[in-house]
Structure 1
Amino acid sequence: MTSPVTSWEGRSFEVTVGQVAHGGHCVARHEGRVVFVRHALPGERVIASVTEDRGGSFCRADAVEVLSPSPDRVEPPCPVAVPGGCGGCDWQHATWDAQRALKATVVAEQLSRLAGVTMPVEVEPLPGGPLRWRTRVRMTVDPAGRPGFLAHRSHRVIPVSDCPISAPGTVDEVVSSTWAPGSSLTIAVDATAHTHVGSSPVAVERAARREWRVSGFWQAHPDAADVYAEVVASWSGLAPGESAWDLYAGVGLFAAVLAEQVGPSGSVMAVESYRPAAVEAAENLSDLPQVRVFAGRVEAVLGAGAGPDPSVVVLDPPRRGAGKQVVDAIVARGTSRVVYVACDPAALARDVSTFHGHGFTLTRLRAFDAFPMTHHVECVALLER
């Protein structure tokens, strides 16, 4: 019987950092165990301090000293983007080009390992650079009433006086005030430059040549919604009179794009599980009678046989992905083309694998650095039967 591994938490040791892994860290090995190291870059020699060890084959650590730095290493623009500091950013210690290369490696690795797909991946920058892009921010208030961000994998609040990735009109609007200890703040600056602070601020956004009222999810990067809408429009291949689905539709962005393509003689079914967003989608798209909005879980709506069979399906699921039940339901309705907008490359790869089992092929992929300085990356994939 193998004896349990003694916890390494609090231990420090020297390691050579290997390849990047999904989640904002790199992989190292020490005494036969995997060590996931944050604040490091591939090829570096660092002192790793173990921050979490639950036994088993791996533990988590921070690079607290860099003995042999990568040529891609830079000084983080934020003073709390350091070991033991804010957990919001993963790659402030890397050049912007290097960040995108790391993300491209992760996307390619996930597709290869989970879906058996080998294809080149380039992560494209969005306009505006890597700083001051985030227009929607969630903060937590510490016991002294100061707003801040959580440390990595922790409920500990790191108070801040600024956030270099947040747009003017967000963090700077709240840090000079005292707030209720333990509360959460949602701050958004919208397309009209108005700042909203509250649990569900209703913002006015503009994308795809339309105006949107949004109280829930909207892309944090100011250019993301327009860019994704353009890709969806160029890949959908819809003709007037055809039918399309927009699954996980939010407030209706992609449904509007599809409605424009199918015209008054076509139809678009938009499905959104979060009822307030579905209500806003219906309001935002009230001038497009070819769109019908369903409020309900995608699995339930598709299981009930709603909507005409689609020529094209667009889906933008949450981080966990669509899953087998939804993919099976889409395929069963005879569509030949799927445009998949994904915020998690692992979930995308799993769903691509399921689509492959139904005879679909991943024919195109674009990846965007919609979240600079973090490990997050947005992908748009085209799957064709």
Structure 2
Amino acid sequence: MTTDTTASEIELTIGAPAHGGHFVARHEGRVVFVRHALPGERVRARLTEAGDGAKFWRADVVEVLESVPGRVEHFWPEADALRAASRGRLPVGGAEFGHIELPLQRELKAQIFAEQLSRLAKEDRTVTVEPAVEEREDGLHWRTRASFSVAPGGRLAMHAHRSEELIPVQRMPLAVDAVNDLQLWDVDFSGVSRVEVAVPSTGAPLVLLIPAAGAHPKALGRIASALPEGTSIASWDPETSTLNRLRGRTWVQESVLGHDYRVTGAGFWQIHRSAPLTLAQAVLDGLQIQPGEQVADLYAGAGLFTAPLADAAGESGRVLSVEGSPGASRDARKNLFASPQVEILQGRVDKSLAAYEGRLDVVLLDPPRVGAGKDVVRRIDAAAPRTVGYVSCDPASFARDLGYFKDLGWQLDSLRVFDLYPHTHHMESFAVLTRP
């Protein structure tokens, strides 16, 4: 709840990091979750969400009174909380750890992950956060996907954290050069509410236009003509899941470990340029699939993991690919048509697993940020695999699901955590679970 106290500023001493990009402080006994801080700092913070009856408050640092080692100048002025505050504005969201040295970011992420494991799964373990394969020393230029809103006047903008305020942007330092080279900031996107950009490992970039309500159809043609030649352009209606080609392809092509993948429109693909290789190799190393084994790839998307799993299982094996999104499932059918040992099911994971009780050797799951949930965990357990591999983009939902697995007699065999989102609080993990 937000009240008139949001204009208040308070002095705080910052404590431990917390999940979600915050740091914990206390003010007169009340917990305050503070962004853009560092443990041990003394800061002046502006309350952004506060109320007398609230269990906790939220705040943004506006001035550092006593700094600590590890704080650096933010690489992106629009996302710099201190600079934004000096101008009476909010910072762009999406680079909330940009004021922290990269090695310290990974130490803080490791602390957060370990705390989630201990609190939610009763699993005490030392965690190390690894960089992605071929990561840059500065942690910049890794995003192959970028999403922008459109401000009044038609220029690209991004939201402030937990705010409807739009902040115009002229560049995106976390994006690969090919995103910035499109110079989308110079285009009038009037008539569009959002712009999605995907730069594949091979082939032309794709710009996806999400029309604004009531926009004139001619607006899309005008925008398409203003975009660079050689760029594929399509429009996407989230309400009807309708994808329309305006120019070039409605999909991009990705390549990982010798496999080519078609990813259509708004279909999911790992954002970091090295994430697909980093995770696919971790999965193969961790699961050690044997020829002839029966494997399930759950929440399989376009088949990033399914293809190498099928290679490992061989022609005598069997790989079940389960995906809820019709579009992603269609992509998987095209991507895996040359792998006869793969069976593709489009539908809910829990229902799809019902027919495989006691029939699987290995299960891999890569659920959305909310996690798999108790019902899916029970279905996986009923399939009686020797090993479960769990790819996660959220330590809290992973720890919760790990607790469900532990209740059923599973144990955490190995865990790798990857910094696939440098300068943000996000991280990715891969865990191997076995029976004692």
Contact 2:357 2:383 in 1 (8 A): no
Alpha-carbon distance in 2 for matches of 1:28, 1:181: 43
Contact 1:17 1:42 in 2 (8 A): yes
Q: How does 1:3-42 map to 2 (within 5 A)?
A: 8-42=5-39
Alpha carbons of structure 1 residues 298 and 234: separation in structure 2 relative to 1, 3 Å: same
Q: How far off is 1:168 after superposition?
A: 1.4
Q: How does 1:44-55 map to 2 (within 5 A)?
A: 44-54=41-51, 55=53
The residue that corresponds to 1:312 in the other structure is: 362
Alpha-carbon distance in 1 for matches of 2:117, 2:386: 21
Identify the match of residue 126 of structure 2 among 120, 130, 154.
120
1:146-189: CA deviations, max 9, x gaps?
11211100122111001111111224421111102561111011
The residue that corresponds to 1:377 in the other structure is: 427
Provide the aligned length of Structure 1 versus Structure 2: 381
Identify the match of residue 263 of structure 2 among 211, 214, 229.
214
> Does residue 132 of structure 1 match 2:129?
no
1:88-135: CA deviations, max 9, x gaps?
111000000011111111110000100011111111111232101101
Is the partner of 1:111 in helix, strand or coil? Answer: helix
The residue that corresponds to 2:219 in the other structure is: none
**What are structure 2's unaligned runs of at least 5 residues?**
82-89, 209-235, 237-242, 244-249
Contact 2:2 2:50 in 1 (8 A): no
TM-score using structure 1 length: 0.96
Q: How far off is 1:301 after superposition?
A: 1.2
> Could you tell me which amino acid in structure 1 is paired with residue 65 of structure 2?
L
The residue that corresponds to 2:172 in the other structure is: 163
Contact 1:208 1:253 in 2 (8 A): no
Q: How far off is 1:82 after superposition?
A: 2.4
Identify the match of residue 331 of structure 1 among 378, 381, 400.
381
Q: How far off is 1:372 after superposition?
A: 0.5
Alpha-carbon distance in 2 for matches of 1:255, 1:329: 20
Is the partner of 1:221 in helix, strand or coil? Answer: coil
> Could you tell me which amino acid in structure 1 is paired with residue 150 of structure 2?
V
Is the partner of 2:7 in helix, strand or coil? Answer: coil
Is the partner of 1:253 in helix, strand or coil? Answer: coil
Q: How far off is 1:300 after superposition?
A: 2.1
Q: How does 1:142-221 map to 2 (within 5 A)?
A: 142-173=151-182, 174-180=184-190, 183-192=193-202, 194-198=204-208, 199=236, 201-215=250-264, 216-221=267-272
Contact 2:116 2:399 in 1 (8 A): yes
Is the partner of 2:398 in helix, strand or coil? Answer: helix
Alpha-carbon distance in 1 for matches of 2:66, 2:192: 40
Identify the match of residue 346 of structure 1 among 396, 399, 405.
396
Alpha-carbon distance in 2 for matches of 1:73, 1:377: 20
Q: How does 1:69-80 map to 2 (within 5 A)?
A: 69-80=67-78
The residue that corresponds to 1:257 in the other structure is: 308
Alpha carbons of structure 1 residues 103 and 181: separation in structure 2 relative to 1, 3 Å: farther
Q: How far off is 1:53 after superposition?
A: 1.9
1:336-360: CA deviations, max 9, x gaps?
2100000000000000000001110
Alpha-carbon distance in 2 for matches of 1:367, 1:176: 38
> Does residue 295 of structure 1 match 2:362?
no
1:31-59: CA deviations, max 9, x gaps?
11111111101110000110112542211
Alpha-carbon distance in 1 for matches of 2:311, 2:419: 27
Alpha-carbon distance in 1 for matches of 2:284, 2:318: 15
Contact 2:17 2:23 in 1 (8 A): yes
Alpha carbons of structure 1 residues 117 and 234: separation in structure 2 relative to 1, 3 Å: same
1:50-98: CA deviations, max 9, x gaps?
0112542211100100011121000000001123110111100000001
Identify the match of residue 295 of structure 2 among 244, 251, 259.
244
Alpha-carbon distance in 1 for matches of 2:17, 2:325: 35
> Could you tell me which amino acid in structure 1 is paired with residue 395 of structure 2?
P
Percent identity over the alignment? 45
The residue that corresponds to 1:98 in the other structure is: 104
Contact 1:144 1:181 in 2 (8 A): no
> Could you tell me which amino acid in structure 2 is paired with residue 150 of structure 1?
H
Alpha-carbon distance in 2 for matches of 1:372, 1:254: 23
Alpha-carbon distance in 1 for matches of 2:203, 2:417: 28
Contact 1:171 1:187 in 2 (8 A): no
Alpha carbons of structure 1 residues 265 and 375: separation in structure 2 relative to 1, 3 Å: same
Contact 2:2 2:48 in 1 (8 A): no
Alpha-carbon distance in 2 for matches of 1:144, 1:286: 46
Alpha-carbon distance in 2 for matches of 1:374, 1:41: 14
Alpha carbons of structure 1 residues 323 and 158: separation in structure 2 relative to 1, 3 Å: same
The residue that corresponds to 1:85 in the other structure is: 91
TM-score using structure 2 length: 0.85
Is the partner of 1:8 in helix, strand or coil? Answer: helix
1:202-224: CA deviations, max 9, x gaps?
11111122111112010111111
